[in-house]
Amino acid sequence: MSEELILQENKQPRSRRFLILFLIADVIIALDQWTKWLVIKYIPLNTSWLPESLERFSPYARLLHIKNTGASFGMFQNGNIIFIPLTILIVGGIIYYVSTLEHSNDWMWVAAGLYLGGAVGNLIDRLTIGAVTDFISVGSFYIFNIADASINVSVAMLILLWIIEHRNSQSEPPVGPEESHE
């Protein structure tokens, strides 16, 4: 494959990147805010809910409405003074990263959109109600929401993409000037 063709494959139009990024982020933000609205409206704070037909799963999975003023796993409670500016920096960093990085894999932009949507979803809560609404409780695991899940999925995707790219770059033999016949 010629070097010019490889460069063309690695350069996607910025508009395509931003379309993927903002489409995914918008879907996550909308889904996150809608589910949090439903929880706030129908499940009183610090109570759990599960349909009667699924009560046998209550110790393992349920909706449990809590307010989290900290980070994941309830760490750093009452940290909005740090988390709000930090999240704004992260959002700016993601947008800058997407605008400068040359990458041909659309999954990279999907992962960035998932992270952006999750970050903004929780930022909206911090700015509007002073805490993040968490409600998905699985076993004794931490209680989370759609935004948290989106962030975790994006990190897993980025790690997987990095591993795949790293393996692919190691399996390709280097092309030196003496091997090129163009």
- Known catalytic residues are 134, 148
By C-alpha distance, which of 70, 165, 149, 151 is closest to 111? Answer: 151
Alpha-carbon distance of 114 to 30, in angstroms, equals 12
Tell the residue number behind the tokens 């990024």, with chain if given: 21
Q: What is the DSSP string of 88-104?
A: HHHHHHHHHHHHH----
Amino acid at 16: R
